[in-house]
């Protein structure tokens, strides 16, 4: 262009002086024109999706838009995809007629949409604008393809067998991603992840993540998660995976007790097994002897269909098989005679004036742990015996109490219902006097016995009269009892109080007792009077009446 200008103006000195000024003006005009077409520098499209190529036109009011177009640079040259002319309308190349269209064509916006983007669409695209007076203005953008990876998880080639060494568990693959994907494993077990990448011929990348782990029985059913991150994905992609570990049966026998008893019924042993794959064979055998009769071994259980016997004791084995292998468990069955539920020891219990053997029930607990066994007859017998013994004890106590009461009632009556003498505290503390007077003491008071087998109360020689001697005719009188009572009371007072004045010359007794002392009465078998500890006497006839 500079050469063309030199040809027009020649080598004049004036032009040479203005040449720097024209160069600066050209640069300014060129820069202003470039900024009037605005496009993004880089556009990333997802393979198979639609992409928008934006082009904004900034023109002054003194300029007019003549035409705008989208062109693509190819190795063979420039290729026009679409043209927008405000006067003549829109024109699309036949090759892109079904894939390209203008978004909202105007003098200020000539953006287009490219549908079904493929790898062939990768390259540089130019938005060109033709204006009146300024001419052509353009701006270019680079279109790149982003490929969303195909994500999947595949198990390892070998089955996971418990006890084996490190094994490839699973592989997480992000296939043909552009750009390369980020792949990782999250697990509940302690394993390791190996990541590998492979470049494809179409410019995509395949990423593989291998999870390696030494299988264990405890890891069966644990969860893994494959996580993939890629720009084409709105969120991270997660695929769950569950560990499937194969292992031999783990056998457990349930229902076994330490001791069983002869006669016990409904005895059953269940053989349980945890296995992967599930167990399909359960076999019960007896190791120390043939399997006894009356035993059912079906559905993994060993059941005695009859009461237990002593010879059922022995060593039994439950063997379980699955596709991986076999396992077994041995159990020892012990059967003994049942102990008595109640023991009856005897103990001696001595009661006063009696001897009694008491049998007390002693409670014992038999070691029964099965719910189906009924109570033995010994338990009822012990209850009955205990109740009978308790009743006997109560009866013996009542009899002893009755005997004590009876013995107290048999004691000799002490005292006279005619006694009116006051016994002071000092006299009460003295030793009791004898109830019976000796015969010679009575003779001192009443004189010699006449030999008639009874003694009558007579006055003493010295005049100390206790009872006057009344004749039989006087005793038969109607007032005998009254006179006798008055005479008894009169002995308490002086002579002028004795209305009957019986033997007034005799001095009264001064020992505080108006009756005979202990030595004045005879309590022999032939006596008609009985003396008492308080000094009084009473006729046997009156006493027994």
- DSSP strands (E only) in 65-166: 65-74, 77-85, 89-92, 100-102, 112-114, 123-131, 135-146, 150-155, 160-161
Query: Does a structural domain hold residue 292?
Result: yes
* Whether the predicted pLDDT of 295 surpasses 60: yes
CB burial of 120-151 (b: ≥16 within 10 Å; e: otherwise) equals ebeeebbbbbbbeebeebbbebebbbbbbbeb
The reported pLDDT for the residue numbered 404 is 86
Domain end (from 214, 243, 272) = 243
The residue assigned the tokens 């009156």 is 542
Query: Does a structural domain hold residue 452?
Result: yes
Q: What is the rounded distance in angstroms from the CA atom of residue 287 to the CA atom of residue 281?
A: 19
Whether 42 and 108 map to the same domain: the answer is: yes
Whether 228 and 263 map to the same domain: the answer is: no
* Whether the predicted pLDDT of 469 surpasses 90: no
Nearest to 320 by CA among 263, 270, 377, 281: 281
Whether 269 and 373 map to the same domain: the answer is: no
Q: What is the rounded distance in angstroms from the CA atom of residue 67 to the CA atom of residue 130?
A: 5
Reported confidence tier of residue 290, pLDDT bands at 50, 70, 90? very high
Query: Does a structural domain hold residue 525?
Result: yes
Whether 364 and 385 map to the same domain: the answer is: yes
What is the arithmetic mean of pLDDT over 282-293?
93
Whether 265 and 209 map to the same domain: the answer is: no
| Helix locations, 357-438, DSSP H | 377-409, 425-429
Domain limits for position 73: 36-141
Reported confidence tier of residue 537, pLDDT bands at 50, 70, 90? low
Query: 25-29, 187-191, 375-379, 534-538: which range is least confident on average?
Result: 25-29
The reported pLDDT for the residue numbered 403 is 87
Query: 88-92, 356-360, 431-435, 514-518: which range is least confident on average?
Result: 356-360
What is the arithmetic mean of pLDDT over 481-502?
42
**Which CATH number does the domain housing residue 81 bear?**
2.60.40.10
Q: How far is CA 244 from the centre of its chain?
A: 32
What is the arithmetic mean of pLDDT over 229-239?
93
Reported confidence tier of residue 62, pLDDT bands at 50, 70, 90? low
Average pLDDT, rounded, for the chain: 73
Whether 325 and 348 map to the same domain: the answer is: no
* Whether the predicted pLDDT of 57 surpasses 70: yes
The reported pLDDT for the residue numbered 531 is 62
Q: Based on the structure, what is the number of domains in the chain?
A: 6
CB 467 within 8 A of CB 457: yes
Query: 121-125, 154-158, 485-489, 534-538: which range is least confident on average?
Result: 485-489
The reported pLDDT for the residue numbered 87 is 86
The reported pLDDT for the residue numbered 411 is 59
Q: Pick the residue with more confidence: 338 or 435? A: 338
Reported confidence tier of residue 533, pLDDT bands at 50, 70, 90? low
Reported confidence tier of residue 380, pLDDT bands at 50, 70, 90? low
Whether 78 and 127 map to the same domain: the answer is: yes
What is the arithmetic mean of pLDDT over 493-522?
42
Query: Does a structural domain hold residue 417?
Result: no
Q: Quick check: bond before 179 cis, omega within 30?
A: yes
Residues 6+ apart with CB under 8 A from 122: 143, 144, 145
Query: Does a structural domain hold residue 324?
Result: yes
Tell me: the pLDDT tens digits for 241-272? 999 999 999 999 999 888 899 999 999 999 99
* Whether the predicted pLDDT of 215 surpasses 60: yes
Reported confidence tier of residue 18, pLDDT bands at 50, 70, 90? very low
Q: What is the rounded distance in angstroms from the CA atom of residue 334 to the CA atom of residue 257?
A: 9
Nearest to 124 by CA among 85, 71, 82, 169: 71
Whether 433 and 539 map to the same domain: the answer is: yes
Query: Does a structural domain hold residue 264?
Result: yes
Q: What is the DSSP letter of 178?
A: B
CB burial of 327-366 (b: ≥16 within 10 Å; e: otherwise) equals bbbeeebebeebeebbeeeeeeeeeeeeeeeeeebeeeee
% of the chain with per-residue pLDDT over 70: 61
Domain end (from 287, 305, 336) = 336
Reported confidence tier of residue 495, pLDDT bands at 50, 70, 90? very low
Query: Does a structural domain hold residue 196?
Result: yes
Q: 371 burial class (0-12, 13-18, 19+ CB within 10 angstroms)?
A: exposed
Residue 439, Cβ neighbours under 10 Å: how many?
Answer: 15
Whether 283 and 297 map to the same domain: the answer is: yes
Q: 430 burial class (0-12, 13-18, 19+ CB within 10 angstroms)?
A: exposed
> For the CA atoms of 395, 400, 402, 404, what is the dihedral angle to 10 degrees?
-170
The reported pLDDT for the residue numbered 285 is 94
Tell me: the pLDDT tens digits for 82-135? 999 988 889 999 999 899 999 988 888 999 999 999 889 999 999 999 887 777
Nearest to 360 by CA among 374, 375, 349: 349
Domain end (from 106, 141, 176) = 141
Whether 523 and 468 map to the same domain: the answer is: yes
Whether 489 and 476 map to the same domain: the answer is: yes
* Whether the predicted pLDDT of 442 surpasses 60: no
Query: Mapping DSSP to helix (H, G, I), strand (E, B) and coil, where does residue 282 land?
Result: strand
The reported pLDDT for the residue numbered 276 is 93
Query: Does a structural domain hold residue 420?
Result: no
Whether 433 and 498 map to the same domain: the answer is: yes
Q: What is the rounded distance in angstroms from the CA atom of residue 86 to the CA atom of residue 527?
A: 175
Tell me: the pLDDT tens digits for 126-163? 999 988 777 788 999 999 999 999 999 999 999 999 98
Query: Mapping DSSP to helix (H, G, I), strand (E, B) and coil, where does residue 376 land?
Result: coil
């Amino acid at each position: 262009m500079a050469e063309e200008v030199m040809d027009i103006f020649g080598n004049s000195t004036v032009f040479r002086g203005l040449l720097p000024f024209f160069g600066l003006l050209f640069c300014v005009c060129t820069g202003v024109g470039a900024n009037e077409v605005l496009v993004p520098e880089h556009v990333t499209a997802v393979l198979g999706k639609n992409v928008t190529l934006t082009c904004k036109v900034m023109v002054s009011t003194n300029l007019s838009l003549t035409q705008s177009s989208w062109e693509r640079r190819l190795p063979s040259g420039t290729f026009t995809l679409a043209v927008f002319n405000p006067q003549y309308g829109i024109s699309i190349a036949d090759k892109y007629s079904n894939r390209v269209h203008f978004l909202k064509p105007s003098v200020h916006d000539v953006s287009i949409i490219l549908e079904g983007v493929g790898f062939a669409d990768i390259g540089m695209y130019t938005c060109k604008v033709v204006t009146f007076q300024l001419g052509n203005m353009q701006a270019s953008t680079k279109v790149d393809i982003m490929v969303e990876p195909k994500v999947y998880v595949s198990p390892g080639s070998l089955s996971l067998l418990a006890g084996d060494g490190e094994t490839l568990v699973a592989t997480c693959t992000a296939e043909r991603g552009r750009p390369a994907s980020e792949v990782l494993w999250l697990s509940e077990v302690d394993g390791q992840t190996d990541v590998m990448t492979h470049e494809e011929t179409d410019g995509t990348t395949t990423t593989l993540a291998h999870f390696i782990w030494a299988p264990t029985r405890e890891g069966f059913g644990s969860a893994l998660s494959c996580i993939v991150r890629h720009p084409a994905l709105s969120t991270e992609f997660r695929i769950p995976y569950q560990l499937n570990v194969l292992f031999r049966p783990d056998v457990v026998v349930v229902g076994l007790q330490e001791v069983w008893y002869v006669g016990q019924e409904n005895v059953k042993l269940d053989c349980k097994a945890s296995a992967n794959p599930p167990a399909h064979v359960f076999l019960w055998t007896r190791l120390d002897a043939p399997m006894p009769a009356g035993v059912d071994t079906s559905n993994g259980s060993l059941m005695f269909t009859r009461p237990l016997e002593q010879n059922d004791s022995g060593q039994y084995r439950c063997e379980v098989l699955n596709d991986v292998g076999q396992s077994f468990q041995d159990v020892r069955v012990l059967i003994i005679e049942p102990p008595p539920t109640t023991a009856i020891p005897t103990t001696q219990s001595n009661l006063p004036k009696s001897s009694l053997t008491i049998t007390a029930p002693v409670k014992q607990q038999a070691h029964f742990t099965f719910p189906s066994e009924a109570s033995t007859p010994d338990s009822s017998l012990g209850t009955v015996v205990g109740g009978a013994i308790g009743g006997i004890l109560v009866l013996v106590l009542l009899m002893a109490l009755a005997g004590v009461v009876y013995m107290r009632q048999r004691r000799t009556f002490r005292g006279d219902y005619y006694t009116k003498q006051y016994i002071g505290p000092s006299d009460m503390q003295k030793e009791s006097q004898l109830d019976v007077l000796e015969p010679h003491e009575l003779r001192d008071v009443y004189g010699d016995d006449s030999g008639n087998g009874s003694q009558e109360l007579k006055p003493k020689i010295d005049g100390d009269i206790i009872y006057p001697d009344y004749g039989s005719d006087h005793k038969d009188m109607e007032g005998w009892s009254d006179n006798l009572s008055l005479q008894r009371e009169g002995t308490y007072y002086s002579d002028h109080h004795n209305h009957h004045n019986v033997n007034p010359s005799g001095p009264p007794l001064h020992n505080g007792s108006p009756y005979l002392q202990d030595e004045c009465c005879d309590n022999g078998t032939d006596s008609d009077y009985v003396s008492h500890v308080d000094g009084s006497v009473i006729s046997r006839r009156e006493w027994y009446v």
